[in-house]
Structure 1
Amino acid sequence: MDEASVKSIIGMDLKSILVEQLHAYQSGEGWKYLCGSPVLPFQFQGSSERPVYWILSWTETAEGDDQLLIDETHDADTLSRFERVEGFREPVIVSSSIHLERARVQRVIGYGYKDEKQEFLTSIVVKLENVYVTFISGPVFTVTVTNTFPENMDRELFRVGM
């Protein structure tokens, strides 16, 4: 994921968080969701253009650490794991989704670690208008929605937005 791709979603709305199945529980003043690979559709409010989809996945490094992978697409047809309802342009999720109010993206912060050769992204924090949404990679993703900035994150690798 390059910085230009991250910059391109600043000012867009995070329309929802799409997942096949999830387990939700309250954690303090926020919520945590455990799920498989989430898909994040971003779109400018009122735009008729197709959304930008971030497909989050993970891999395990040679050292056994989790690495977050982000694939970007504009084609909803590539989201084959979600059942489509005839007549709708965008996928209608039959399984699970998380919807947030006031979801304009203000900032994206990437966390991870560096070795001698490269950086490894492990998690991202998406700052919306009134909440922080954190995505921590692993065989099961942890998605946290809270009013306060998350603590105990890995080393900051990048920060885009205001």
Structure 2
Amino acid sequence: MKIEWQSLKQVQGCLLKGIYATQLHVRGDDLVLFSSEYVLKINNPDTLEFWYWNINWFEDEDGDDHLIMNEQETPEPLDYVEEPDISPHQHIIIGSLFYFKDNLINKVSGYGYKDENIEVLTTLVFEFEDSYLFIKTGPLIEARITKNKPNNLGDFIFSL
């Protein structure tokens, strides 16, 4: 199964406006968020366009965890209300939100493993000016904000 990463919008130079979830659990020194599913809001500051990435996972028959990314126009599956008075197609999201100031995206890379014709995504790394957002799959998806560049990520799958 080869996934076409080229269909995702280019995010370099965009802003990560928030990490949303039904419920976020926070822990640790670096700042680690845990949830079973995330919705990331991305904004292009030049065009004012915004979109969402739904980050989810599944476990295959071999017990391997796969990270799934879907680009979408709404923050589904989270509850939300469209607020046309604020801006067309603007959403008020009902759920937990995490926002941080260092949110200008320099690069997003996907890692995992390659097996014959199969590419399995297990990790996303967002590179910002002074920090990294490291998203790793599992029954509770880990989103770690850190100053240190993550290593031992597996095979390189894609870059945006």
TM-score range, shorter chain: 0.7 to 0.9
| DSSP-derived class of the 2:28 partner | strand
Distance in 1 (CA, whole Å) between partners of 2:39 and 2:25 is: 16
CA contact (8 A) 1:54 1:70 kept: yes
Contact 1:13-1:44 at 8 Å conserved across structures: yes
Structure 2 match to 1:99: 99
Which deviates more, 6-15 or 78-87? 78-87
Given candidates 18, 21, 24, the residue that maps to 1:19 is 21
RMSD (Å) for aligned C-alpha atoms: 2.1
Report if the CA contact (8 A) 2:21-2:78 is conserved.
no
Aligned letter for 1:70? M
Residue in 2 that maps onto 1:111:
111
**What SS is found at the alignment partner of 1:15?**
strand
Instruction: Please state how far the C-alpha of 1:93 moved relative to its aligned partner.
Output: 2.9
> Secondary structure in 2 aligned to 1:4?
helix
The CA deviation at 1:13 is: 0.4
The 3 A distance-change label for structure 1 pair 65 and 109 is: same
Name whichever structure is richer in strand by fraction.
Answer: 2
> Residue deviations 1:37-89, cap 9 Å, x none?
1011111126433x12111111112211000111111x22x624223275554
Amino acid at match of 1:150: P
Tell whether 2:79 aligns with 1:82. yes
- Which digits, 9 at most, give the CA deviation of each residue in 1:127-151, with x for residues without a partner? 0122100111122110000011013
> Which amino acid in structure 2 is aligned with residue 121 of structure 1?
L
CA contact (8 A) 2:78 2:93 kept: no
* % identical equivalent positions: 28
**Equivalent position of 1:146 in the other structure:** 146
Q: Residue 4 of structure 1 aligns with which residue? A: 6
Which residues of structure 2 form unaligned runs of 5+? none
Q: Which residue of 2 aligns with 1:38?
A: 38
Contact kept? 1:82, 1:91, Cα under 8 Å: no
Normalising by structure 2, we get a TM-score of 0.85
Q: Which residue pairs with 1:136 in the alignment? A: 136
Change (3 A) 1:125 1:6: farther
Answer yes or no: is the 8 Å Cα contact 1:6–1:108 preserved in 2: no
Contact 2:78 2:95 in 1 (8 A): no
One-letter code aligned to 2:139: P
Q: Distance in 1 between matches of 2:80 and 2:71?
A: 20
Rounded Cα–Cα distance in structure 1 between residues aligned with 2:115 and 2:138: 19
- SS of the aligned residue for 1:8 comes to coil
Distance 2:150 2:8 in 1: 20
Q: What amino acid is aligned across from residue 8 of structure 1 in structure 2?
A: Q
Tell me the residue number matched to 1:67. Answer: 66
Question: Structure 1 residues 62, 117: CA separation in 2 closer, same or farther (over 3 Å shift)?
Answer: farther
